[in-house]
Structure 1
Amino acid sequence: MSAFQQALAAPSGSSFSIRGAATGAPSTRGLTNALRSAGISRETGMEVEGGAGRPARTIGGRGRGRASGPLDQSSRPTPRVRNDAPYNRPPRAGADRDHGQSAGPSNSGGSLASRLSRGGARSNNSTRRAQESTPPLLRGRSAAEDETAHKTQRANLSNKLRNEGTKEWLRARVIAPGAMDMSKLPLDAYLKQEDIIAPGHRDASPIVGAVFWKLIDIEVQKHFGAVIHTLSLADNELRDFGQLDKLAHSLPHLRALDLSNNPVKNINELDVLLARGEKKGNATAGAGSLKSLVELKLNGCTFRENLLGQENDEEKYQHEILRRFPGLLILDGVNLNRIVFPIERKPKVVLADDKKRELQAIPLSFPVDVQGGFVENELAQSFVMAFCAKFFPLFDSNRQELISAYAPNATLSASCNTLQSRSFLANKVAETKSSRPPTAAFAPWTDLPGRNLFRVSSALARLHSLKSPMDNDELRAWWAKVPATKHPLEDPTKWCVDTWVLDGEGSSTKLCAMIQGQFQEMPSGCYRSFSRTFILADAIQGTTANQAGWPAQILSDTLVVHQYMSSEAFDDNRSVAKHGALIIPPQPVAIDQSTGPTAVLPPLAGVGAVPTASASEPDQNALVARLRQATGMNVNFATMCMVQNGWDYEVALRNYGEIKGTIPAEAYQ
């Protein structure tokens, strides 16, 4: 009898196992071979009745003992429920009793619905137990819940910190002039009494530290007029330095900082104390920098102890700290052996309101007035203006006729500056943006073979970016790609022309004309500002420019297009003399062997200047000598004082007494 027949002929009271030696029963290898010889594969399986009190089980099917269903009359297996996934396995023996249910006759521990319900109950119970045993801080919260919690915490903190008691507590933390002790805040009795969360607490809002530092700035520095230069933040249970992000903004004059005994594990947390420029390695750090820091204490910090436990620990540790704070002289209470060049820092001068009013009452003076354009002489101006009056209308309407104005060896180029300006004028222009057509893209200009060297990488491309009238077809094709323009020809206030003689004499004279202004790019109508530089020569007899009626021929034409900046820099309001400033040209000094240097002062020019009184030269010298004896000023400044006061000695002496504190030291040398 085969092993399979013996198994089928086994008494009903006996048990049947396929686990083999693990339960003391015979091995299942012979049983597997018998099933295969009987034509029963692992895919189909066969249901076998178990012993007394045991449910029917399927053997031989794929899944090793898991239910696969009996064969139907067509010898095809019925569809199986995939319960072989780890989370769908049948319950262990006794699991039903654990949940107060009896085991059913099914081989999988009951129906599918009952198994799912029991599995769901187990899952819900286990999830609930996990949530109940998890600390509240570790439970996941949605972003909306976090934001709501932070807003509530910020509101509560703001209300608590407005109390006068909190302000007095903060001022009591000042232990010496300029020194403040903010250590051991988690153990502070007042904070516990007022239920104020310290910056090092796990539940602290991210802005708690910034609020504390801002309060120190307002209630200590500005209230008492004292600068905090020493601060202790030791023993605050800070696990990172995120709460110190705004420390340098509120206390930029710190010279000594104590961060000892805080369990910070990563040394990179010190980067929070650096300004944006310092993180990039720039020489100018910008706002939020501890430039004055010379002493730092990190004793007891976790990252310090870890670094000092490595090879060459002291050198690595100092290198990492000095890389971030190169101005340190004392680290962890130990003087660093460094060569330091002392730099004298001028103290910050804060003027009183009455002193500010005195300075504001003094009129400003400039050596020359601000003008719309520089013109070397009237002849050059008329020459250039005649050229511009013919050039720009043709550039807007018919560029093909401009070719005759260029010398055969002339060069043309264009470039585009797409960077946004951050100047005051740009911000002011942006306020009127709604009254202008919307700005179009710079693509038509950037797609040109321009002279912007940041966009042109190869020397060959730069060579092709220069155009010349020697190749008329190429120049016409290039001009066709340049966007159409419309210059404000009818408004002279929109133009600024600087012109001067470059070199040469007579017919070989060359002029440089730099023209700044604006135009509208068509068809969009958006405004652009431009700067165009011409090198002009005389259109002598026989040249193409002379035959075409041009007053000059162009040797070089360079065009730069950039964002619209308006014409305010060179309009009618450009004169500072119109706004009350004095125009005092530099005074030459004549050397007199008998009396010493004497200033030769021409009459003052500009609006607001004091007219010069009629006085003879001997009288002027006597007045200057008298003022020098009374004030101690040298000849130049005494003469300037008399000139600005109309050679009235009493007025000059009275005005000197009012502005004495603002006169520079070189006036007495």
Structure 2
Amino acid sequence: MSYNYGQGGRSRGRGRGRGRDQNGGGGHNPMFSRLGSESDSYGGPGAAGAGAAGGGAAFADTSMVGYTGGPVQVSIKGWGGGTESSLMRFLDNKTGRSVNIKSVNYRGDIMYVLVPSMDIAQELLKLSGIRFAGGKLIFQLKIPQVRFGADSTGRDMQGSSSTSESANIKDRLINLLQTRADMQGSSLDLSSLAQDNIIRSIGADPLRDGKIFKAILVIAEQIYPGLVTISFADNGLRSLRSIVDLGAHFPGLRNLSLMNNMISDFRELDCLSSAGSTAPLGQLAELILLGNPAREAELAQPGGGVSYVDKVHQRFPTVSMLDMNPVTPRAQPGLPAEVRSDGDAIKQLPFSTEQSFVENQGIGDMANTFLAGFFGLYDGNRSGLANIYDQEAQFSLMVDTSPPTNAFAQPKAQSQKHVDLSVYIRISRNLARVKSHIKRSSALTVGRDAIIQTISQLPATQHPVQDAQRFSFDAWQANVPGAQGVPLTVAILVIHGEFTELPSQNTISFDRVFALAPAQPGSAAASVGSPCVIVNDQLTLRRYNGFHSWLAMPADPPAAASGGLSPEQQEMARALQEQTGLNAEWTLKCLENYGWNYQLALSEFPQIRGTLPREAFQ
């Protein structure tokens, strides 16, 4: 990925903004390949050779009467798409030597430069017609020279100095963008600008001067019009007014990070959405708001998880990845959210729901065998589970205290909104609420004996395993890091269901994620008929929320998730592909290699990028 903008990291472009190589010779300049609109600026049919061949017609009528030797003045038109210093580097590159400009003046949009000799002037004239920064350069000799000063009808020297200063700032901002864009020009990291040496050299304060962001966005659009990812992380932003034109500059923006800023009111997001912008981010698929007061305050409220997502979707209905976690979008990119008569947007997937995803028949049979044995022991003899937990296994429990949201569950008596979950909460490891590192560490149960002791203290249960529709599971194979760095092949098993708590008769919904390793012949697990051992067990509990959400909905024709992927996996693959530039095949390989752990794949990508073949990228 790449560049992990969720963590505020930077992916720096390389080799940009240099007109010469280290030996002083002309060199290919990737920066100008973005500024120009045609490749002939690099020696193609329209480059210096062609200019020389046809140059006579361009300047044959230029009068040289009155030239007595010495410095020569040349006017330059069509340079306005770039900056003064970038143009000078370009001219050095194209002439193959230092042009050695002695003075620069301006009148309107024409630049007047003084070069040391007629030879250099003639070299420039041969370049007339060459493409630069999206325009065509026109050079002309000025004999006699155009005078500049207080008595001139054009700009005096003070005006020239002011223009040069503005051009200098623009050039510095271009250099800033070059160091912060990825190699493809699709991702830009604008995090921590106040600490950037280039920003400091300009004397700007991004926290107080919103104009610096506006200037950066204007220039970024000129240089990198294909940007789909931008990070404004760690900038201390309290208001987003300084980037209100983001959608106008980049209407196709897909990924946006506002991580670790000071946004305390969700209404600040309105200026980027249809609620307050004439150019909203209608294609936005990923948004990161981690570390902002508005997010943290919302999540701290009862039911905050649901209302937080809702407030984001009110403004950006196409978001499908929020804070690096998949969420269900309300609308497809480019389309408005569907709205019911009561004003609430309908949350719909763009494909029919399937009850389960199983990678293949073998893993499906294994999952069914394991689950039948596991729930039998969990309900009837938890101490017997010691045989199927690995010696170094890990177990964690998380309690979701938000009220039920499922329309089928809310009117039912068993939804029991006031069910007491305190017995579970005391060992809950809900990372959104448990901030203490000591509590996070102590709430993680490690080792077979400790796990059996922990789960034995939880209330007795009865899982309705005889009613298949009340359960749904997904199962697939993955490689995860093992002991001493050796990859371990495991089955990932994600099950959704419910159980009755005894003796209270409360019905509780749960999700459980197992990482299962093969049971070795002669092991305790194999001796009791289990095909695998548990190396990781994560249990999430919530008040009863029904089971209709995973029942397959009728469709004509039936449509499963494309490529055999679950909806969450599709979103992970899309997001990772956009961030890394990998093609579809290698995106899936990357995710599979890291056990479909999106954040891990994203953070590890920079380390493995250099080892991947060319064909791995789009």
TM-score range normalised by the length of the shorter chain: 0.3 to 0.5
Between the two structures, name the one with larger relative contact order (CA 8 Å, sep ≥ 6). Answer: 2
**Which TM-score applies when normalising by structure 2?**
0.33
